[in-house]
Structure 1
Amino acid sequence: MRPEGEGWSAWPAPAKLNLFLRILGRRADGYHCLQTVFQLLDWGDTVWLKPREDGEIRRVGPASYAVPEAGDLAVRAAKILKEAGKARQGADIFVEKRIPLGGGFGGGSSDAATVLLALDRLWGLDLGAGRLADLGLALGADVPVFVSGRSAWAEGVGERLSPMALPPSAYLLVDSGVSVPTAELFQAPDLTRDAPPATMHDFASGSVLGNAFEPVLRRRSPAVAEVLDVLAQLGPAALTGTGGGCFVRFGTRAQAEAARARLPQAWRAWVAEGVAVSPLHLALARR
């Protein structure tokens, strides 16, 4: 589905996975210090943009948007960029959603990053990646990795990024249908917040795996526990981010597709491949 009319341009907003996630502690401001590896995927949303000469920022498209316009990260990203860049233009925004909301696949953050990068180009602002990442961080801790456009090792609240070469992989993704507010999970009394720091070598050797939120969600949601238990019969099953999205890594797409065929037909499942460079950045380089 694409918006009607002329003047639109389409921009990828890729999903991500957290290949592991551990929490090292809590800062004085209440935010948590974490470590994770972000794997960008070749699958995700599409953000359609059309510059406006009247300076307005408008979301157009389905009346069934699950998030109110005022809270939509894509809309907020456009408004923040307009203010920071003192842009006279506005934009119409149409988000073609594929990434499930609240699944931990980074859909809202990726949409926001795509708006920042694409409108920076369309409006001729040229603010630079560092400034755009700073603007994105004000919207959410996952936005900077999508702005950077590289799969990465991440620390801090997720904004301190080191690009990381990951082996070619295909992933079977499943949306459990469970969406828990991130803030609620971070406040959970049974969340482990004092894990010892890991290194990239620890991750590469396989000694650092798991997601600190998995045991919390297992106890709270039978649906998440069921999906993880079924996926565990196909390979090492894991939770991504703080949502109800689950995945299994395979060496090839054919293996992932074969595993998908074994899942219950009613489940929402996809196969996606990991990428080193974001499809958005490849699109920007071509234009």
Structure 2
Amino acid sequence: MPDLTVIAEPARAKLNLALHIRHRRADGYHELETLFAFVEHGDIVRVAPATKDSFTLTGPFASVLAAEGDNLVTRAAARFRATFGGGAHAIELEKHLPVASGIGGGSADAAATLRALARIHGVDPADPRLFAIADRLGSDVPACLLGRTALGQGRGERLLPIEGLAGTPALLVNPGVAVSTAAVFRGWDGQDRGPIGTGDLLTAAQAGRNDLERPARVLAPEIDAVLAALAAQPGVLLFRMSGSGATCFALLENHAARDAAARALRLPGWWVAATALC
């Protein structure tokens, strides 16, 4: 899409530094508390005004989504137009994040689409109507639209921005398996193990947990090997599965430790991304 009118928006991977499930609600959703953070690595969404709507997939994970006629990006664009107006758009999604992997790839793509369209049409990125669209698209989309470290409550859509750890080296590892979010939530044992604690972000995250890790590991035992490999790396400050899996992450003391861990974990079939919190 080599055009000067193209708006490019990063769709950064989302991490759940902690994810506490409190209870299952009457509407079928789960009440939760989570520490959202974002890393530099992610997808890229490019949007340009056009005479006719089009959607193009590129990037290393494009083929995984190619069979889908409908996705969060096209839904986000349709709902933006229904709310704010505007004509047709050519949208390109450059897909670098694995699909169904617990790092909010689809949610980040939808949020980036909304931000790009808002820039094109002069909509304030803090407009509550944008966040209302995001909320209807999915529980993680509002956090991805906010795009900064935050405490998430409710389904994850109630957001309180907090001080982050920008620049902290991070390593993302996926064992090459996709995990169904719905199946993982169904496997949660229903035990409320308490809220996220107080203190600075790293302290709260280290004292926290991911309540979806156990059911995800039952569905995808490959996660065990990733977590064990991350735990064994020197300089690790925190390691955990993100979201409903199967991607796991580590925060590390410095870039040298991160890069050494990345070299050690580049195993056949594993996806590895050396990045940093932003």
TM-score under structure 1 length normalisation: 0.86
Q: CA RMSD in A?
A: 2.1
Q: Does 1:271 align with 2:274?
A: yes
Give per-residue Cα distances to partners, 1:79-132, cap 9 Å, x unaligned.
000001122x11111111111111111111011001111101212344743221
- Identity among equivalent pairs (%): 35
Q: 1:260 aligns with which of 259, 262, 270?
A: 262
- 2:43 touches 2:96 (CA, 8 Å); kept in 1? yes
- 2:242 touches 2:248 (CA, 8 Å); kept in 1? yes
In 1: Cα distance, 2:244 partner to 2:43 partner: 19
Q: Does 1:79 align with 2:78?
A: yes
- 1:231 match: 230
In 1: Cα distance, 2:244 partner to 2:202 partner: 23
- 2:218 match: 219
Query: Which range is displaced more, 157-166 or 198-207?
Result: 198-207
Distance change (3 Å), C-alpha of 1:125 and 1:153: closer
- 1:169 touches 1:250 (CA, 8 Å); kept in 2? yes
- 2:9 match: 11
In 1: Cα distance, 2:92 partner to 2:57 partner: 6
- 1:174 match: 173
- 1:85 touches 1:127 (CA, 8 Å); kept in 2? no
- 2:57 touches 2:66 (CA, 8 Å); kept in 1? no
- 1:172 touches 1:270 (CA, 8 Å); kept in 2? yes
- 2:156 match: 158
In 2: Cα distance, 1:261 partner to 1:60 partner: 33
Distance change (3 Å), C-alpha of 1:12 and 1:127: closer
Distance change (3 Å), C-alpha of 1:68 and 1:80: farther
Structure 2 gap ranges (5+): none
SS of structure 1 residue aligned to 2:145: helix
- 1:74 touches 1:111 (CA, 8 Å); kept in 2? yes
Q: 2:56 aligns with which of 57, 60, 69?
A: 60
In 2: Cα distance, 1:90 partner to 1:221 partner: 41
The Cα shift of 1:171 comes to 0.9
The Cα shift of 1:192 comes to 3.9
Aligned residues: 269
Matches within 5 A, 1:7-46: 7-46=5-44
SS of structure 1 residue aligned to 2:225: helix
SS of structure 2 residue aligned to 1:39: strand
- 2:169 touches 2:255 (CA, 8 Å); kept in 1? yes
In 2: Cα distance, 1:73 partner to 1:196 partner: 32
Letter in 1 for 2:277: G
- 2:186 match: 187
- 1:49 match: 47
SS of structure 1 residue aligned to 2:218: helix
The Cα shift of 1:203 comes to 5.9
Letter in 2 for 1:255: A
SS of structure 2 residue aligned to 1:229: helix
Query: Which range is displaced more, 231-240 or 33-42?
Result: 231-240
In 1: Cα distance, 2:32 partner to 2:200 partner: 15
- 2:7 touches 2:120 (CA, 8 Å); kept in 1? no
The Cα shift of 1:186 comes to 1.3
SS of structure 2 residue aligned to 1:200: coil
- 2:212 touches 2:244 (CA, 8 Å); kept in 1? yes
In 1: Cα distance, 2:202 partner to 2:173 partner: 24
- 1:136 touches 1:143 (CA, 8 Å); kept in 2? yes
Query: Which range is displaced more, 64-73 or 209-218?
Result: 64-73
- 1:279 match: none
Give per-residue Cα distances to partners, 1:231-259, cap 9 Å, x unaligned.
11113431001120011111222221111
The Cα shift of 1:57 comes to 3.0
